[in-house]
Amino acid sequence: MASLEGIVSLGPWGGLGGDRWIYRASGGITEIVLRVEGNIKSISFKDASGLVSGTFGGRGNDPNDRGEEKKIEIQWPSEHLKSISGTYGKYEGQLVITSLSFITNLTTYGPFGTAPGETFSIPIADSAVVGFHGRCASYLDALGIFVTPANSNGSISVGPWGGPGGGPFSFTVGSWIKEIIVHERVNIKSLSFKDGNGQEYGKFGGENPNDPGVERRIEIAGPSEHLTSITGTYGNYNGLLVIRSLSFITNLTTHGPFGNAAGTSFSVPIEGSVVNGFHGRAGYYLDAIGIFVKPETTN
């Protein structure tokens, strides 16, 4: 996908049919128009400047398969869109978006659509949706979002994933994440970090002296290499819901997986991002993990 300056791309989720499309708003998104019956037939947008996008989807020839119009009015600038969730699955033999919800800083609109499918959602905060992308033809085949930070520190919070145990931790760096120290065996025991200025963060987890794990070190050769995302699994270990495995994704390679890839998988398809911090929960082990990201072009 072509990069768009100063934004982070999340997704898309859905199928591979239809043609690729990109929509970037001028100012806030103020209106979303859907055509829905079972699945999502089509979607279009209006922004704060009054410009209306094209219609993405709805190209089918069956006049009885147009769906019912649903209109969402967003009271920008006091209200802004911050995320989406939904499902995708088979409809008329095609893998398409089957339902959608739109999440603002004030409320959730939806769900729209009733056809079953696999769920997708984005645990995200401090974000403003400034555009959409995906694939479409007769229906809306796939959908993703473009986001920017909606706060003064320039970071977007993604996650966390994992369990509710342990105590909270959170940090962001002013430079770049240079080193990650993982203690692991069949789960992630602990994490600690060092930034490009030599400042250390953590140890997060590792409070069980009888189960320390094995140390693994990841060196990130910035500034040419930078962390872009994480993936992993979480599940039960010694009666606790904790992070079982982790991989660290940079613009050049993937480091890992570390731990044992058992349990529920988590990942987020993301582009244009730089990880500039982590958050989560930790105690005996690493209970939960999330990331702070900023747009790649943001200094």
pLDDT interval class at 66 (50, 70, 90): confident
Taking the whole predicted model, whether its pTM rises above 0.95 is answered as: no
Order across the sheet with 254-259: list the strands. Answer: 254-259, 240-250, 227-237, 264-266
* Domains of the chain, earliest start first: 8-149 (2.100.10.30), 156-295 (2.100.10.30)
Looking at the DSSP bridge assignments, the partners of residue 90 are 95
Cβ pair 35, 58 in contact under 8 A: yes
Query: How many C-beta neighbours within 10 Å does residue 26 have?
Result: 12
Rounded to an integer, what distance in angstroms lies between the CA atom of residue 139 and that of residue 56?
8
Cβ pair 73, 41 in contact under 8 A: no
Q: pLDDT (tens digit, 9 = 90+) per residue, 152-177? A: 889 999 999 999 999 999 999 988 99
Across the range 191-206, mean pLDDT stands at: 96
Look at residue 1 and tell me whether its pLDDT is greater than 70. Answer: no
pLDDT interval class at 2 (50, 70, 90): very low
Q: From 222, 120, 178, 155, select the one nearest 8 (Cα to Cα).
A: 155
CA atoms within 13 A on the CB side of 43: 29
What does the pLDDT read at residue 3?
44
Q: pLDDT (tens digit, 9 = 90+) per residue, 106-141? A: 999 999 998 889 999 989 999 999 999 999 999 999
CA atoms within 13 A on the CB side of 63: 0
Rounded to an integer, what distance in angstroms lies between the CA atom of residue 211 and that of residue 190?
11
